[in-house]
Structures are given as structure tokens and as C-alpha cells.
Chains A and B, each alone.
Chain A
């Protein structure tokens, strides 16, 4: 470690990213123990890959990849975290190993497509479709090579039974992303998506990001005393989304002094 940075507290954004990565890894593991039977298919819905899709949507490509890599690493060291309670390096080089490695490609593709876009159902659905295409292409190719089977047999074993469940998972992930992702991005501005450069005179107008301004973003730009007074921890407690409401007096002062000043995150200000 660089001596100049030693003993420096980690940034709030990196701590938050670390905890969310761990949370989604835990959710993926829990998802592999939960299955929901559906009437239209004999194969129940396992929620592990559903949580991997959500992980990519919420955390983006970088942290989503870290979360899935941690999940695979835990399985590799012997914890029974893979679907059906499997564990160990033998699973990674077994017939289903292609699907496990394919998760890495899936999470990167979904995260890269959706990270800077609004989570509308067409965008999310397209991203999930692309990610799952990569997953199944990789998994089925691996299965074909491993079993030395023809393509038809590999597709029949590795894709067809899962299609009804997959369609339901994609639809549910789209609904959840549309409902939860905007608020999640507001709460974690600057962590999983770029910081907004909001024009305070017109808070609706944003450049370069889909994130909305947070309470500190607005207040720290308008009132220096506020930003100096708040501690890092306290600012995170208060980092709830500001639904385009700024205190009247601070809005007035901002209009008077720095109308066109782009804001930065409160964490930087503090």
C-alpha cells in the first residue's frame, strides 16, 4: 500500500460498493436455495440467475462482475453455493461449468447496456435478453464440448427446459428494475453511476447522467456552511433522494450567485 494513503479511511462510495457487492453475492447464494414451481414448466424457477440479473442492473458492470466473481470464488473454495448445493473446483470444470463462467459475461453485458440508461422496460428487457443470450451461448457450447454431444442434444438439455422460467425471470427483473432502480440510483449517486452535473437553476435539467441530485448535492453547492458542518457519516444517513425540492432560501441564493455552476457529490465537498 502506498504509505501516503495508509490509514486513510476508505471513501464512502467504496465502502457502499463493497457492502452492496457482498449483499448481492449473498442474495445470489440464497437464490440458489430458493425455487418457485410454475405451472407451465416442469423445471422450477431457481432464483440464483434472477439475482445475478438484478445484480448487473443495480450494481453495473464493474461491481456486478466483482459480486459474481466473489460468488464463484466462494463456490470454488468449497462452500455449497452453486445451484443444487454443489461446490468445489470440480463443478467449475464439469458440464455446467460453462454456465457458471457465462455468468461473468452476462453480468458485464447487462451492466454495460443499462448503466447509463433509464431503466425503461424495453432497455432493461433488451439488456437482459442480450446477457442471457451470451450466458446460454457460452453454457451450451461448453456442454456440447464436455459431453461430445450434437448441438441439438446440447440445446435440448441446456436451454429448452429453462425457457419458460427464463421468460418469467426477465419479465420480473424488468418490473423490479423499473420500480426500484431510479430510487436506488438516487440513493447511491456517484457509487454505481456517474455523478450528476445538475443545473441548480433548473433541477430537472441534467447532463451526462440519469442520476437525480441528492440532498447534500444541492445543499453543499448552495450553502458552504452546510457542507462544512456535516460529517461523512451523517451525510450518508441523510443521503435520501431530493425530489427536486430545495429549501427556498438556498434556492434563492443559488439563483443569485451561481446559476450555472455544476454541482459535485457531497462526499467530495466534505
Chain B
């Protein structure tokens, strides 16, 4: 499983209106960013966990694919705990662990996990074309904004993210088998890693461009038709309520 990639499943979250899911994503990510009390983070974490459950995502695979965030969270907690001032939680010799820093690190980790969980659930439950369509729908009334083009660009970006991850993983494995990891020179290491990734991706872009031209792609797209049911409106109202709670 790759972060930010779509998973086709017959779940409750998959059936929701993409516009409402996009609005909920925006509102809940702002809510997670501005929440500062533990009770606010607790409520948001519960909602995030429920959204993962509603999207029927495999928790074990998700945790495995998001191990990188675990490293970041641990690093931030350690860094905050060792650099913040204030009363010490405990100390080893000259090194003291700040209680305030430890709490700040934990809050950062909680916020990050909430954002990741909500975003994983919503992107896994919304196909790239639906997400692009929802963005187009929101931008369409704005003058001088190429809504269709932006929608297509988002759609393509969400297609390219897993493709780039896969390509990077393959190239990295190939490079490791050739002992590139033993290179001391960081410039050579980056070059040996990035150049083949770019070459492969450029080739795929060429093919995609040819395919789009052959199908006479244009910006005069028919707007997708969406119908918001009561459950969709309830999702947006719940998100607004949670944002209001986070702002308290």
C-alpha cells in the first residue's frame, strides 16, 4: 500500500460525494493544525480512527507503509524534549528531558498522525479523477481560473505519486545491489539515484503525452455531476463542528 493512493473498496466512505470529502479534508486538516488541547486532539483522533475504519483500510499495511512518519515523530519528540527549557521530567547526568518539550513533541506527533490518518482515509476512498473533478467543481465558478486544467493536473499528480514512489523503490533497490550506498560522495549518491528515476519518468510522460494527444484531449471538459445525500451533508456539518471545537 502506498500513501495517498486510491484503494477500490465497497466502503461507506467510498460512497460519499467527492466534493464533501474534499471539504471535510480541508476542514479537518485545519482543525488538526490549530487544535492545542489534549481533549481536542482526542476527539479528532477518534474521528480519524473512525474514518480509517469507514474506508476499510488494512491497518497493518497502512502502518507498515507509513513507518517514515513514525521516525519523524520519534525524532521530533526527542529533539523537543532535549532542547526545550522549563522543569525537567528526568535527567541523565548533564542531559535533562524537558516536560514541556516532551508534551510539545507528543502533541506534534498526535497532530501529524491525525492528519495522516484522515488524509489516508479520504485519498484511499476517493479516486484521483473524482478528487480532480471535485476541485474542478469548486474552481469552476471563479473567473480567470483554468479549472479543468487544474483538475487534470491534480488528477495526473495523484497518478504520478505512486508511480514515482514505485520507480524510486525499484531504482533504489537496483542501486543498492550495485553498492551505490557505499559511495562516500553524497553528490554521486544523489545523482546515481535521481538521474535514472528522472529518465524512467520522462519516458512515461512521453508515452502519456502521446496517448492524450491521440485521444484529442482538450480543456473543454464536461463537469462531473454529483449528488449530495443527507449523509454527505452530515459529513460536512460534522467537519465544521470539529473545526469550531478546535478553535475554542
Contact = CB atoms under 8 A, between A and B. Distances in A.
Contact of A80 (B116, B135, B165, B202): B116
Q: Max chain A CB contacts within 10 Å: which of B28, B195, B219?
A: B219
Contacts of B202: 23, 184, 187
Closest 7 CB pairs of A and B: A90-B33, A78-B29, A26-B160, A22-B156, A88-B29, A233-B214, A9-B216
Given A1-B219, A176-B195, A77 B209 contact: no
Interface of A is mostly: helix
Contacts of B163: 26
Interface residues of A, number: 61
25 contacts: A1-B219, A7-B220, A10-B219, A18-B156, A22-B159, A23-B205, A25-B157, A26-B156, A26-B164, A38-B186, A50-B194, A77-B135, A78-B28, A78-B115, A79-B123, A80-B3, A88-B33, A89-B26, A90-B29, A91-B33, A168-B187, A172-B187, A172-B190, A176-B198, A233-B213
B164 A30 contact: yes
Given A78-B115, A89-B26, A180-B195, 20 more contacts: A1-B219, A9-B216, A15-B213, A19-B208, A20-B205, A22-B155, A22-B156, A29-B157, A33-B68, A33-B165, A77-B25, A77-B135, A78-B28, A78-B119, A80-B4, A86-B112, A90-B30, A90-B33, A168-B190, A175-B187
B154 interface: yes
B194 A87 contact: no
Interface residues of B, number: 62
A30 B167 CA distance: 11
A30 B168 contact: yes
B156 A19 contact: yes
B213 A9 contact: yes
Interface of A: 1, 6-10, 12, 15-16, 18-23, 25-27, 29-30, 33-34, 36, 38-39, 45, 47, 50, 54, 66, 70, 73-74, 76-80, 84-91, 94, 168-169, 171-172, 175-176, 179-180, 184, 187, 232-233, 236-237
